[in-house]
Amino acid sequence: MDIVIQISVAVIAVAFLVLLYSLVQTLKTLRGTLEETRETIGQLRTEVTQISVDVKEAIHNTNEMTRDVRTKLRSLDVLFTSVNDIGHAIHSFTGVARESAASLVSSIKRESNKPLKEPGMLSTVYDGIISTIRFYNKVKKVKV
């Protein structure tokens, strides 16, 4: 029985040695992996620092470009306001011209139905002067 115990102890010792050898090999592999991880993290730190500098520069350039575009758009606002004012003036001008033409046509039609007399011609000229004054007053209001 003593021999069985000695053999069992010897088998346990051999198994323990195999276990220790496996554990040492695993720890060596783990150490290599940790070294690679440490190197990779160091490289990532330098790359992230470089990328953050590039990103800051890109943001700075984008902000400058945005300010420039805003300034140019503000200068275009004046142009569009002027174009709007010109559009309103032209619209008023065409409305007054239309009224003047309609007034002139209606007065000519009235005069053509009447026999030609000197006072009829005078009233046509008078209507033309009145229409011109109205037109001038409307254009003057648009400019103000």
Burial profile 118-144: b = 16 or more Cβ within 10 angstroms, e = fewer? eebeeeeeebeeebeeebeeeeeeeee
The pLDDT assigned to 7 comes to: 93
Highest mean pLDDT among 3-17, 104-118, 120-134: 3-17
pTM strictly above 0.85 = no
Total number of domains in the chain: 1
- Domain extent, residue 40, equals 2-143
| pLDDT (mean) for 114-137 | 71
